[in-house]
Structure 1
Amino acid sequence: MARDRDRFSTATRLKALGGQATARVYRARTPRRGRLTGRAALLALVLCSLVVALAYPTRQFVSQRSDIADQRRQAEEAREDVKRLREEKARLQDPAYIERLAREHLHYVRPGETGYSVPGGGGPGDRVDSRGAADQPWYRNLWDGVDAADRQTSR
């Protein structure tokens, strides 16, 4: 009997079954677009939900990685500053270095030596200030600052 079914075509079998059966068979063979669209919408909704759910944590992760890199850079700079300051502290323990700084910046001289200040001389310790004149000894700069302040208040 199974052999007899295989011998007849689908169209012949449908004619034998009648009109209602034919309609059911053809309806079953055509793909239902409603189910496919619903599945696609559900899949799109799930994907959008995943993207939205993962967007904020991903942004936070990237931001935190950037902050970590900045903190590491700042820590390295602080280590370099500490190293530089330790070296400066070690140099300041040397009396010869202190004497050299006093001679350059404060124009100190040893007993028996004669100190000279040459205006506009441009010696090795002299610097040019913003007005273009050579630096004076520290005490002269102090008094010039006092005089300038006094002139501004008396106007």
Structure 2
Amino acid sequence: MPVNGQSENISRLVTVAGTARERVYGWRRKAATVAVGVLALGMAYGVVFGNNGITVFLHKRQEARSLQQQMQLLQAENDRLRGHVDRLQNDPGAIEHQAREELHYTRAGEVIYTLPVAPNAPATAQPIANP
């Protein structure tokens, strides 16, 4: 009978070992799944919020649009000022107009009247020429 009892013990041990092996395998599989999930979440966080993430990319894209608009405005201003410089270099009438506006120059026989500045008006007084 000891042989038969030993074989029962061995078969129980094999069954217990098989069950333990399945449990360990199940726990390892669950742990690996959790680890992969945590790794995926960490990578997703880095993709969205990292140094080169989507939020930074969208911010840089908006900044590029803003700078492009600002550059277009400055180019238009530059073209306007270039035209003004060209007129001042080549048109005597433009030079005279500029001198009258900024330096209050007059022609012979003209009188300039300067009016007081209104409270809502700009600080520079506009001279009035009287021919």
User: Given that residues 107 and 115 in structure 1 are in contact (C-alpha distance below 8 angstroms), is that contact kept between their aligned partners in structure 2?
Assistant: no
Offset from partner CA, 1:10-66 (integer Å, 9 cap, x none): xxxxxxxx8957x94xx76xx855245223312212212312442312144334323
Residue of structure 1 equivalent to 2:35: 42
The answer to whether residue 74 in structure 2 is matched with residue 74 in structure 1 is: no
Pairing 1:99–2:96 present: yes
Q: Which runs of 4+ in 1 moved over 6 A?
A: 131-134
- Structure 2 residue matching 1:135: 3-state secondary structure: coil
Looking at structure 2, the residues matched to 53 and 104 of structure 1 have their Cα atoms a distance apart, in angstroms, of 60
| Contact map agreement 1:128 1:134 (CA 8 A) in 2 | yes
Corresponding residue to 1:84 among 70, 80, 86: 80
Shift of 1:75: 2.2
Indicate how the Cα distance of structure 1 residues 82 and 39 shifts in structure 2: closer, same or farther if over 3 A, else same: same
**How far off is 1:129 after superposition?**
6.4
Superposition TM-score, scaled by structure 1 size:
0.48
Does the residue aligned with 1:118 lie in a helix, a strand or coil? strand
How big is the shift at 1:94? 0.9
TM-score norm. by structure 2 comes to 0.55
Partner of 1:109 in structure 2? 106
Q: Conserved in 2, the CA contact under 8 Å of 1:129 and 1:135? A: no
Q: How many residues align?
A: 108
Give the C-alpha shift of residue 97 in structure 1: 1.7
Which of the numbers 121, 128, 135 marks the counterpart of 2:117?
128
> Matched residues, percent identical?
23
Q: 1:134 to 1:117 in 2, by over 3 A?
A: farther
RMSD (Å) for aligned C-alpha atoms: 3.8
Task: Provide Cα deviations, 1:75-129, integer angstroms capped at 9, x if missing partner.
Answer: 2222112111111112213111222233344343333xx2223353xxxxxx836
CA contact (8 A) 1:102 1:108 kept: yes
Task: Report which of the two structures shows the higher radius of gyration computed on alpha carbons.
Answer: 1
**Distance change >3 Å, CA 134–CA 115, structure 1 → 2:** farther
Structure with more contact order per residue of length (Cα contacts < 8 Å, sep ≥ 6): 2
